[in-house]
Structure 1
Amino acid sequence: MSVMSLNDIKAEYPLHWHVWNNNVDELKRTLKNEQIDKEKIDPRGRTPLMLAVKLSHIQCVKCLLAAKCNATYEFEGWSIVQEAVCSGDEEILTAILEVRDLQRHVQRVTHVPKLLQYLLDAPDFYIEMKWEFTSWVPLMTRYCPSDTYKVYKRGANVRIDTTLLGFDSNQWQRGNRSYIFKGSKDTATMIEIDHETSEVMIEEMNNEIGDIIGIPPPIGAVRARLNAPVITNNIEMARISFERNKSGIWGWRSEKSEHISGYNCKVYGASNVEFVTKTRMDHLSEEQIRIKQARTPLHSFLGIADDEYVPNTEIVRTPTPQMIENNEHQVEEEDSASNSSGSAASRHDITPEEYFSEIDLGGRDIGRPKKVTTKVQRFKANLWLSEDYPIRLQEQVLPILDLMSAMASPHVSKLKDFITMQLPSGFPVKVEIPLFHVLNACITFGNVFALTTPVDNVTTINEDDRITCIVDDRCFDIPSHYTNRDADTRRQLPLEEDDMLQYAIEKSLVETSGGACGIAEGSETERVDIWEALRGQAVGADSNVLTEEDEQMQRVLQESLCGARVTSSPTSDDDDGGFRFMDPDLAMALRLSRQDQQQYELDRKREEEMLEQVLKLSLQEH
């Protein structure tokens, strides 16, 4: 491939060229041309906005954002927001976050009416989706919750009931919410009903957005991001293959089938399911990297510790026993640009002719040198497919999953990505997939058309050749005695990167680190919270923003370790063991776990006393 000349670059990539040279006046002039492609991708996969962020040209960034360039663009798994974090520039990150959040809101409120209109012609139905979370980490599974989404669909109206709302600083957060979507040709109404507080929030969604003012992110959240690694998690879908599971032994083996929710299902195993975690620390100092990557016993136990950053090296870590048992594998590799000093690389290290030509740069790049750690965990996924299921995946279920994703359910997005692959024929009645580092999900579709268990306002129709149902309009009514709450449109943004929530959660854990769940570190007065132990972070160090997936793992780990703690003296029957304000079911599980641990300690103490007595008798005989 020949090298492009400067004149060819100016003609082919005019916006990129002005960004490269940080020529703001020419950039503004060119953007006035309505025919210009503001989202054109250069040979390195970058739009003009991503290039401006990578080069840390703040005025170009603001100019492109004012021209409504896409701030949600991603390339090779890295978003513009993440590139802004890696730039280490507070002003750039603030500007990108403000516009990105605004664009996400606009995409959401314009996309929902289209989804509901798409559902209009699909047959009405009722179905339940049961989510069960499990883990290979000891004690964790018993504290993982389950939830059942109840989905009602009639025409362009959809109602989704859920009880698992999220996570707070102590436990999985429970509630009783209904999300009702009412659609028409160009508009939709989203109604959130809180059945515990008897409050209702109503939000209108349509294609005519009008003028919406962006809200700058809190400065504390921005700075917390800049002091935390950038982490992405994804499942490598392209490598997954499906194979029919076998039953029986040796020569009598046959293809496996099971009855799930009353339907005969073929059982498939998915191989090469790789959960990939990438961590970038371009913007962190070597001291920050060293602190964040310090090993602890808990790091090694979980198999999620990072090795110390060493430029241009590849590290393959021996799998832990837990990984071997769960068929998991981890690989870590480091990637850096040609400038290995750790300082921001100048764009002049690469000429424009080199950058804009489709030639191999030999690992070099513009901007700061990359410091990337990649970890791969291999899982087994299973799939139960039925040829006779009365619900259609494409026309009925997938639009519902899109709506649930709009409700800020990132785990639903992972399910959608998985079942939209090229699956074997049939409806996925049951699916087992990995969600996070140590957390799996089992999703089962059931009670279709209310066939198994009767449901209020759903009437099952069993005809000779098919089964359907009628969903009453009353399912989508607001209870008359409920009170309205003003809609905060920005509050409805997806929560996978809700900085303030993540920041507040970690701060609360730091403040309570001296409590019963603290882990001794050095002296008795030095105690760290669960996440500090996982990070190997010193007490009192700056808080970091957690990714939602790591935040969720933290919630469960904390409860698991709290449940396993041993008190110094037996508790009375009236003692609540510190679980007074928890969900009753969770509190009971924690009490039982503590009692089991105490019994184990008592048995071990008796064995030691018996051994000591035997030794004394032995000495007396001699």
Structure 2
Amino acid sequence: MIMAQESEEYPLHRCIFQGDVKTLKILIGKHDIAEKDKQGNTPLHLAVMLGRKACIQLLLAHGAPVKVKNLAGWSTLAEAISYGDRIIISSLVRKLKQQAREQIEERRPNLITALHQMGDFYMELKWDFQSWVPLVSRMLPSDVCKIHKSGASIRMDTTLVDFNDMRWERGDISFIFNGDQKPSHSLTVLDNKAKLFQRVKYEETELEIEDEVDVLMSSDIMAAQMSTKSITFSRTQTGWIFKEDKREMVGAFHADFYQINGMVLESRKRREHLSEEDLQKNKAIIESLTKGSSQGFKNGEPPMRRASLNPPPKSNITWDEYVIAPSGQCPLLGRNLVYKKSSKSFKATVAMSPDFPLTVDMLLNVLEVIAPLKHLSKLREFVLMKLPPGFPVKIDIPILPTVTAKITFQEFAFRNDIDPELFQVPSDYFEDPMRFPDL
């Protein structure tokens, strides 16, 4: 039986489908644990969809990737939330965080080397948020991020603390990254108004992980991504009669303007794991958890935790039926999906300058360090696209389905007089580990 499974397609998938843990233990070291089948499912996807707990623990112990998505765009964690077993969800959340730390540590030496090799500089990024919803547009914030870089240290000053779902928090905060320090002390955030500082957590406590599991089990399963398959760039034209390519100065830099065509933000939402009662009851749970108010035990009692759901009905799909199903038409293995999809096309422009002294690769190294803020992560995602020649000194990018951001690199200068005190916590600041609960 083992010989037959070794010679066929997707032997690990088959073991999991059939609940054959004994054979899985024998084969798991001989095959690619991250292999995707025709539906884009990894062995861990199948184990989660079918609730095979022993298989899940075995796969995680051998380093099965948690973040990877299948053809339908869902991660193993998304499928676990749908299945609704709290122990499985907790195991995946822990492993996901561990794998994220390992990836950062793997890239860290190259990142630090790149920062040391890069010249020291001062840079300003201006953010203007805009919306096609008129009333929202009037209320949206703007911000100027000021960035100092010296050696392997970076400081970013910003007034926009957090921004999502039409809520934003203003402040005066600074992120300080000291690459030559150990990981647990390398990233610090300052609240310059309250004169507080917080070391950005390197590892979460068990309480924080269980809080996160409660939020996941009480929320819609969300996936949003910028579809880059159909994106093309065309030169922006100016002039009424005699058209010519648009060239303008952006700050001190000459720039060629391009129209970005085919930019689509796809948002998908699932809620088959939530009842109508859940939807009402869980609003309060999510609000208390996301505000960090569940930290610690009240009256000595641990917080009430979200219980596991009853498992979905057992699938009657056979392995042969599953493996011959056409690509992208995965048979239903878990709960009936309650699913909503929306997409919005964006008109956007990018101005590329051949004169800018920083390269795109250098910018990515900087953004990797200072991207704990969601809108900076979006900028990093955009810059990873295959852009026209030059450096993107002015960009439009969608941040939310109703909101875009216009980012302008309005100032840049290499400098050798950056004050080293900028990268230290001032002596009159006090430590508050919970000033920014989301970091």
Using the TM superposition, give the Cα deviation of residue 419 of structure 1 relative to its aligned residue in structure 2, in angstroms: 2.5
Structure 1 residue 163 displacement after superposition: 1.9
Gaps of 5+ in 1: 206-211, 292-342, 450-467, 496-622
Q: Does 1:388 align with 2:378?
A: no
Q: Are the aligned partners of 1:229 and 1:279 in contact in 2 as well (CA < 8 Å)?
A: yes
Q: What is the aligned partner in structure 2 of residue 58 from structure 1?
A: 53
Deviation at 1:445, TM superposition (A): 0.4
Partner of 2:273: 283
Partner residue, 2:292? none
Q: Say if 1:117 and 1:185, in contact at 8 Å, map to a contact too.
A: no
Task: Name the CA shift for 1:482/1:106 in 2 (closer, same or farther; >3 Å).
Answer: farther
- Contact 1:19 1:57 survives alignment (8 Å): yes
Which amino acid in structure 2 is aligned with residue 235 of structure 1? M
Q: 1:391 to 1:221 in 2, by over 3 A?
A: closer
User: Is this contact kept in 2: 1:94–1:217, CA < 8 A?
Assistant: no
Partner of 2:263: 273
Say which structure, 1 or 2, has more relative contact order (CA 8 Å, 6+ apart): 2
- Kept in 2: contact 1:275–1:377 (CA 8 A): yes
Contact 1:95-1:216 at 8 Å conserved across structures: no
Q: Kindly provide the CA deviation profile for residues 219-242 of structure 1, in whole angstroms up to 9, marking residues without a partner as x.
A: 675455335432211111121111
**Cα distance change on mapping 1:402 and 1:482 into 2, 3 Å:** same
1:42-86 Cα shifts (integer Å, max 9, x gaps)? 333222222111112233223333444322222332122111112
Q: 1:289 to 1:487 in 2, by over 3 A?
A: closer
Q: Which amino acid aligns with 1:392?
A: T
CA contact (8 A) 2:350 2:395 kept: yes
Preserved contact between residue 392 and residue 427 of structure 1 (Cα < 8 Å): yes
Aligned residue runs from structure 1 range 174-573, under 5 A: 174-184=170-180, 189-202=186-199, 215=206, 222-249=213-240, 251-284=241-274, 344=312, 346-349=314-317, 351-356=318-323, 359=326, 364-394=331-361, 396-405=362-371, 407=372, 409-449=373-413, 468-483=414-429, 485=431
Structure 2 length as normaliser, TM-score? 0.80
Report how many aligned residue pairs link the two structures.
407
Q: Does 1:97 align with 2:93?
A: yes
Partner of 1:531: none
Q: 1:216 deviation in Å?
A: 5.6
Contact map agreement 2:94 2:209 (CA 8 A) in 1: no
Inter-partner Cα distance in structure 2 for 1:492 and 1:11: 51
Kindly tell me: are residues 160 and 113 of structure 1, through their superposed partners in 2, closer, same or farther at Cα, counting changes over 3 Å?
A: farther
CA contact (8 A) 1:276 1:375 kept: yes
- Alpha-carbon distance between aligned partners in 1 of 2:13 and 2:436, rounded to the nearest angstrom: 34
Encode CA deviations 1:144-191: one digit per residue, 9 max, x unaligned.
Answer: 111221111222222222221115999621222222222249968223
Q: Is the 8 A contact 2:153 2:423 kept in 1?
A: no
2:146, 2:178 → 1: CA distance?
Answer: 16
Give unpaired runs (5+ residues) of structure 2: 281-310
Query: Equivalent residue for 2:66?
Result: 71
The 3 A distance-change label for structure 1 pair 355 and 6 is farther
1:219/1:126 CA distance change after superposition, 3 Å: closer
Which AA in structure 2 matches 1:182? N
Measure, in 2, the Cα distance between the counterparts of 1:117 and 1:192. Answer: 23
* Residue 471 to residue 192, structure 1, CA distance change in 2 (3 Å): farther
Give 1 or 2 for the bigger CA radius of gyration.
1
Matching residue's letter, 2:352: L
Aligned AA (1:79): S
**How far apart are the structure 2 equivalents of 1:421 and 1:225?**
30
Q: Distance in 2 between matches of 1:169 and 1:433?
A: 16
**Structure 2 contact 143–159 (Cα < 8 Å) conserved:** yes
Give 1:127 shift. Answer: 0.7
Alignment partner, residue 76 of structure 2: 80
Distance 1:167-1:362 versus aligned 2 partners, 3 A rule: closer
Tell me the equivalent position of 1:20: 17
Instruction: Give 1:156's match in structure 2, choosing from 152, 155, 170.
Output: 152
Task: Go from structure 1 to structure 2 and tell me whether the alpha carbon gap of 1:7 and 1:365 turns closer, same or farther (over 3 Å shift).
Answer: farther
Aligned residues: percent identity? 29
Kindly provide the amino acid, as one letter, of the partner of residue 398 in structure 1: L
> Do the aligned residues in 2 keep the contact of 1:150 with 1:160 (CA within 8 Å)?
yes
SS at match of 1:120: helix
Match in the other structure for 1:135? 131
Aligned partner of 1:558 in structure 2 is: none
- Say if 2:155 and 2:423, in contact at 8 Å, map to a contact too: no
In structure 1, distance between residues paired with 2:97 and 2:80: 14
Q: Is contact 2:233-2:260 (8 Å) kept?
A: yes
Which whole-Å CA distance do the structure 2 matches of 1:443 and 1:213 have between them?
A: 33
Match for 2:427: what amino acid?
A: H
Write the letter of the residue equivalent to 2:412: V
Residue 599 of structure 1: aligned partner = none
Alignment check: 8 A CA contact 2:247 2:254 kept: yes
**In structure 2, C-alpha distance between the alignment counterparts of 1:67 and 1:163, rounded to whole Å:** 43
Structure 1 residues 146, 242: CA separation in 2 closer, same or farther (over 3 Å shift)?
same
Separation in structure 2 between the aligned mates of residue 363 and residue 11 of structure 1, nearest angstrom: 20
Aligned-pair distance for 1:41? 2.6
Corresponding residue for residue 4 of structure 2: 7
Distance 1:193 1:216, change over 3 A: closer
Letter in 2 for 1:403: V
3-state SS of paired residue (2:39): coil
Partners of 2:152 and 2:179 within 8 A in 1: yes
